[in-house]
Amino acid sequence: MGFGGISIWQLLIILVIVVLLFGTKKLRNMGGDLGSAIKNFRQSVREGEAEADKGNEDTQHKPLEDKPGRVFEAEATTENKTREGERHS
């Protein structure tokens, strides 16, 4: 048995038909194009991971105090609405 119930002989017949339809030169070119496409894809994935790692390193080492911002003073209450002038502790 071959792949998924297809025997070796059936695979060979399919291969012969494909070679007759496309020719060996065209199949070789398609194989080379497919190989270069996979190589370019892998390279771009590696570059993307390297950029992501670089971005993570930049954010991990910066302390929060370096970022400018505003400070708001507020008082936390347990009630949703408070009356003006009334303070809860």
Structure tokens at 80: 């949703």
What residue segments make up the domains of the chain, in order of their start?
23-55
Question: How does residue 63 score in pLDDT terms, banded at 50, 70 and 90?
Answer: low
Distance CA 82, CA 14 (A): 81
Amino acid present at 59: T
Is the pLDDT score of 47 beyond 80?
yes
- Residues 33-37, mean pLDDT to the nearest whole number: 94
Residues 6+ apart with CB under 8 A from 88: 75, 77, 78, 79, 82
Q: Is the pTM of this model over 0.85?
A: no
Is the pLDDT score of 17 beyond 60?
yes
Q: What percent of the chain has pLDDT over 70?
A: 67
26 vs 63 pLDDT, higher one: 26
pLDDT at residue 86 in the model: 56
Q: What's the helix, strand, coil split of the chain in %, to 5?
A: 65, 0, 35
